């Protein structure tokens, strides 16, 4: 396991300490979870963006009718409310 130092604004460090105390966890545990979640989410998003760019590079575009169907699918629930 690697250890490193992170500088936080005082208010954020206080909030982290309060949260850790309420959850009966260490500051390090919560920071580790937050970083793991962030890395996972950002990695997924970047992979999706890269996949989309690869599709564009291969000339794989949605046809206008297909785009219209997808938009209509998501707009219909909004109209019924």
How much is the pTM?
0.68
pLDDT digits (tens, 9 = 90+) for 9-36: 999 999 999 999 999 999 999 999 999 9
Neighbour count for residue 13 (Cβ, 10 Å): 13
In a domain, 42, yes or no: yes
Domain count, the chain: 1
In a domain, 21, yes or no: yes
Domain limits at 41?
10-79
Q: In Å, how far from its chain's centre is CA 18?
A: 24
State the pLDDT at residue 80.
65
Sort residue 24 into left (φ over 0), alpha (ψ -120 to 50) or beta.
left
Distance CA 38, CA 44 (A): 10
In a domain, 4, yes or no: no
Distance CA 24, CA 37 (A): 19
Share of the chain above pLDDT 70, in %: 95
Q: How many residues are listed for the chain in this entry?
A: 81
Share of the chain above pLDDT 90, in %: 78
């Amino acid at each position: 396991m690697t250890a490193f130092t992170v500088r936080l604004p005082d208010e954020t460090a206080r909030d982290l300490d309060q949260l850790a105390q309420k959850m009966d966890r260490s500051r390090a545990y919560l920071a580790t979870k937050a970083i793991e979640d962030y890395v996972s989410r950002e990695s997924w998003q970047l992979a999706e963006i890269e996949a989309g760019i690869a599709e564009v590079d291969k000339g794989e575009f949605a046809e206008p009718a297909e785009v219209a169907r997808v938009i209509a699918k998501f707009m219909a629930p909004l109209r019924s409310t």
